[in-house]
Amino acid sequence: MHENIIAYQGRPGAYSHLACRQVFATMTAQACSSFADAMDLVEKGRAKLAMIPLDNSTAGRVEEIYRQMPKTRLHIIGEHFEPVNHCLLGLKGSRIEQLKSVGSHPQALAQCADHLRALRLEPVPMFDTAGAAMALQESQDLSGGAIASALAAELYGLDILQTDMQDINGNTTRFLILSKTSNMPAFEPDKRYITSLIFRVRNIPAALYKCMGGFATNNVNLLKLESYMAGGTLKDCSFHLDVAAHPAQHSMQLALQELDFFALDIRNLGTYEQHPFRTDHELIE
């Protein structure tokens, strides 16, 4: 196993790359062309961890990850919240007044639409943010710019002409840290935990309601419930559930017993400590 490699999807300078640097500064971040490739590196032992985005506060969930997780045997060992700070990048020595167009991922362009309109810059959709920065460097076009991270500016030798280009501050991405081996922490009463589960419901009336009932009656807080179609058919609906509890807690054990009675194919993806971002931004209360 390559103990010092963490895999991510995207080009160097992508926000996933930035998240790797923030959390695992001493590890080597390896770019992959797809989420599946990044996970596969970990499953095959060619990387120790993978940094995978699950949700964005503006763009919503990353649908592909919910479909990919049941296909792997990886474990969630942690979460990370990364604030998205879109920067307007230009070639060395360029000025905003010279720019006519700006390239980036369509989602990034949409998040900066008001600022771009105020600067009278034409948005040019591209495959990703870091790719736009790389393309700008290769083009040497002084009239072109890119919306990307400060890390992309550093890697591709570009100037940051303006920071905080996003129209709404607080744009944040939640990442999952995946490992081939489980690393469930021992329960400590003064710490907060998340347990992530996936399951299918039995084909009976009010099955989902009954699955959730055990968490309600045992005072276990649900943080997230997502449904997605699995198995390649429109008949098989699966669920991803995040709860604020540790399996060692008696209330959680009772809730899981009730879930087991009404659900099928229950799998614990991982139990891990809650990121401080949740407490700081009151995501629980």
Q: What share of residues in the chain are helix, strand, coil (percent, to 5)? A: 30, 35, 35
Catalytic residue among 24, 175, 199, 262: 175
Catalytic residue among 24, 35, 129, 173: 173
Instruction: Please write down the long-range contacts of 250-257, taking CB distance under 8 Å and 24 or more positions apart.
Output: 251/218, 251/219, 251/220, 252/195, 252/218, 252/220, 254/214, 254/218, 255/214, 255/215, 255/217, 255/218, 255/220, 256/214, 257/214
What does the alpha-carbon distance between residue 241 and residue 221 come to, in Å, rounded to a whole number?
Answer: 11
Q: Is 26 a catalytic residue?
A: no
Q: How many CB atoms lie within 10 A of CB 46?
A: 13
- Label the pairing between strands 222-229 and 172-179: unpaired
Q: Residue 169, Cα to own-chain centre: how many angstroms?
A: 18
What does the alpha-carbon distance between residue 194 and residue 222 come to, in Å, rounded to a whole number?
Answer: 10
Q: Is 28 a catalytic residue?
A: no
Q: At 154, which helix (H) or strand (E)?
A: helix 150-156
Active site residue ranges:
173, 175
